């Protein structure tokens, strides 16, 4: 992919990502970010299958416990695996009340696989949301440093 095409496609992927973030709270609007056969893995390990499953899985949340909440999200890495496949890593959190930024304990790390549709737009084909635990990350890093070196 040449540089101009890469920049144009990266901008289109980022635009879809932002539209997805802004659609939070509207189950149908949120669902439009996903491909028909999308997979959505929640931070607690649940799986929502297909666009309709994702929409219905969020409808009750948006009417209940997540009513009035907002989605904070930012892309931390974007890579094209193929001309029509983008891999994104992001951080995200649900904001409630007057919060404008998430606390460390509210952060999740997220993986998105986006595919370009035949009509040219980008949609989310797979999404995984994992709660970020800085203490667990620090412990895992310390244990890795203590492991015997191969060789």
pLDDT digit string, tens, across residues 7-61:
999 999 999 999 999 999 999 999 999 999 999 999 888 999 999 999 999 999 9
Pairing of strands 122-131, 34-41: parallel
Give the DSSP letter string of 82-105.
Answer: ETTEEEEEEEEEEE-TT-SS--GG
**CATH says 3-146 is which class?**
alpha beta
Q: Which helix (H) or strand (E) holds 114?
A: strand 108-116
Distance CA 58, CA 75 (A): 22
Distance CA 75, CA 87 (A): 10
Q: Which of 27-31, 103-107, 124-128 has the lowest mean pLDDT?
A: 103-107
- pTM of this structure: 0.86
Count CA within 13 A, CB hemisphere, residue 141: 6
- For the record, the structure tokens of 7 come out as 């920049």
Q: Where do the domains of the chain lie? A: 3-146
Average pLDDT over residues 49-77: 96
């Amino acid at each position: 992919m040449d540089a101009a095409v890469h920049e144009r496609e990266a901008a289109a992927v980022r635009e879809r990502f932002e539209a997805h973030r802004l659609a939070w709270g509207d189950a149908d609007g949120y669902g439009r970010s996903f491909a028909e056969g999308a997979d959505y893995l929640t931070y607690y390990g649940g799986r929502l299958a297909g666009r309709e499953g994702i929409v219905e899985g969020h409808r009750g949340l948006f009417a209940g416990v997540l009513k009035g909440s907002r989605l904070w999200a930012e892309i931390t890495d974007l890579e094209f695996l193929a001309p029509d496949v983008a891999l994104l890593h992001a951080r995200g959190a649900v904001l409630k009340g007057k919060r404008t930024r998430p606390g460390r304990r509210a952060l999740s790390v997220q993986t998105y696989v986006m595919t370009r549709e035949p009509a040219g737009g980008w949609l989310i084909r797979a999404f995984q949301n994992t709660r970020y635990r800085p203490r667990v990350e620090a412990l895992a890093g310390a244990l890795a440093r203590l492991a015997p070196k191969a060789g």
